A and B are shown apart, each in its own frame.
Chain A
Amino acid sequence: MGRFHHHTDGDGHQDHGHHDHGHHDRTDGEHDHHGLGDHSGYETGTERIMVLEQILGENDRIAAANRAELAASGIRSVNLMSSPGAGKTTLLAKTIPALAGRLRVGVLEGDIATSLDADELAGLGAQVALVNTSAGFGGECHLDAVMVRAGLDRLVLADIDLLLIENVGNLVCPAEFDVGQDRRAMVYAITEGEDKPLKYPVMFRAADVVVVNKLDLLPHLRFDLDEFHRNLTEVNPEATVVELSAETGEGLDRWLHWLQSV
């Protein structure tokens, strides 16, 4: 039961002989209802139903609904992703007051089980709703469209211009899940090393903007900024890059400018 066919040579999409009994040529996603007598050569009277659906198809449909609702409310949205500790929350804590009077900001704060980040952001002038991901299948490592859907219900959308969705700190999973955002932003800290874009290309390719954070630490690190840029260009030549220090505020203006152009 449950054995894996592991193909490493590109033939993974070929069918295995005995499964080939003429039912798989329909690609319209319709059920392939054949009479039970129509299974010549098929041993147990099982019926094969072509599904041909994206694994995350349901997530993508809900994400599309989120996107439509946000658009109808006149809200632009950014999905903020990074590894743990890259500085997403600190960046938000600097961003919210800086945008005061220009954009009304809402924050959806994804966290596996705590409200620590949401507490840090409370009182800065933005609406903040916490999305604890433990409500999913036991502590998710990412936000999905359903969780964001639930979070939207806890915000007064009419009072928001820009929604910042702080994803769970993780460089793998959040890249796979569309939550309905307009843009994806990735916060990368130079303490993570130059090779991160090469090690996590799916994440870096997903980003519309890459914030290069903790720039104030550059004199203290053995870090080659040029090499990082080369690596990033290799996996995502189209990304906008903003270098800044959320801690000192250096470079923050370009980030604010990007946010206002979303």
Chain B
Amino acid sequence: MHELSLCGAIAETALEHAAGRPIERIRLRIGHFRQVVPETLQFCWEVRVDGTALEGCALDVDYVAAQVSCNGCRSTTTLEHPLLLCGSCGGADVTMTSGDEFLIESIEVGSARAKQVR
């Protein structure tokens, strides 16, 4: 539900790092626990960048599966839903091992032609 404000934060950080060069692609890494809906994020991104310097900039997202490790039976479960339960024994004593990521990983900027814009 907060995808639009995430897009605002992503745009600002990306522009800062691009230092005036045109950004062609932004790569993100987002864990499933972050409750981001991929289609909504994409839609919000297009709304957010429409008519701005970032229009046409692609958003590539690596979604990282939410995984828990069971402290009881030691098995690892990839969660389909954010229910923190072991898929093998059903135990609730689990440790989250991935799925918490929320990172702007990199941006790809165009050649220096458009440099010195600001």
Q: Is the CB of B2 within 8 A of A201?
A: no
| Known A-B contacts A4-B42, A36-B111, A55-B10; A10 and B64 likewise in contact (beta carbons under 8 Å) | yes
Say if the beta carbon of B50 comes within 8 Å of chain A. no
Option from A5, A48, A136 in Cβ contact (under 8 Å) with B5: A136
Give the secondary structure class of B's interface: mixed
Q: How many residues of A contact B (CB 8 A)?
A: 51
Q: Is the CB of A202 within 8 A of B14?
A: no
Interface string of A227-246 (1 = CB under 8 A from B): 00000011100000000000
Option from B8, B13, B19, B38 in Cβ contact (under 8 Å) with A6: B38
Kindly state the separation between the CA atoms of A24 and B29 in the bound complex, as whole angstroms: 14
CB proximity of B118 to chain A, nearest CB, Å: 15
Interface string of A19-32 (1 = CB under 8 A from B): 00000100000010
Interface residues of A in 104-157 (CB under 8 A from B): 136-138, 140-142, 144
Interface residues of B in 98-118 (CB under 8 A from A): 98, 101-112
Q: Is the CB of B84 within 8 A of A142?
A: no
Q: Is the CB of A31 within 8 A of B17?
A: yes
Say if the beta carbon of A2 comes within 8 Å of chain B. yes
Interface string of A173-215 (1 = CB under 8 A from B): 1001100000000000000000000111110000000000000
CB proximity of B21 to chain A, nearest CB, Å: 8
Option from B2, B29, B35, B48 in Cβ contact (under 8 Å) with A12: B29
Q: Is the CB of A201 within 8 A of B84?
A: yes
- Is the interface on chain B under 10, 10 to 19, 20 to 34, or 35 or more residues? 35 or more
Residue in A closest to B28 when the chains form the complex, CB atoms: A55
Q: Is the CB of B62 within 8 A of A48?
A: no
Residues in B with CB closer than 8 Å to A142 are 2, 5
Q: Is the CB of A52 within 8 A of B67?
A: no
Give the secondary structure class of A's interface: loop
| Known A-B contacts A10-B67, A49-B106; A2 and B58 likewise in contact (beta carbons under 8 Å) | yes
Say if the beta carbon of A218 comes within 8 Å of chain B. no
Say if the beta carbon of A53 comes within 8 Å of chain B. yes
Kindly state the separation between the CA atoms of A6 and B63 in the bound complex, as whole angstroms: 6
Residues in B with CB closer than 8 Å to A1 are 56, 58
Option from A6, A10, A234 in Cβ contact (under 8 Å) with B85: A234
Option from B33, B102, B106 in Cβ contact (under 8 Å) with A55: B102
CB proximity of B32 to chain A, nearest CB, Å: 9
Residues in B with CB closer than 8 Å to A51 are 13-14, 17, 104-107
Q: Is the CB of A198 within 8 A of B107?
A: no
Q: Is the CB of B106 within 8 A of A54?
A: no
Say if the beta carbon of A103 comes within 8 Å of chain B. no
Option from A10, A45, A54, A177 in Cβ contact (under 8 Å) with B98: A10
Residues in B with CB closer than 8 Å to A48 are 106-109
A-B contact list, 5 entries, CB within 8 Å: A2-B42, A9-B65, A55-B28, A136-B5, A198-B84
Given contacts A51-B106, A54-B102, A57-B9, 9 further A-B contacts (CB under 8 A): A2-B46, A5-B62, A12-B64, A13-B62, A51-B104, A51-B107, A54-B103, A140-B5, A172-B35
Instruction: Name A's B-contacting residues (CB within 8 A).
Output: 1-10, 12-13, 24, 31, 36, 44-59, 136-138, 140-142, 144, 170, 172-173, 176-177, 198-202, 233-235
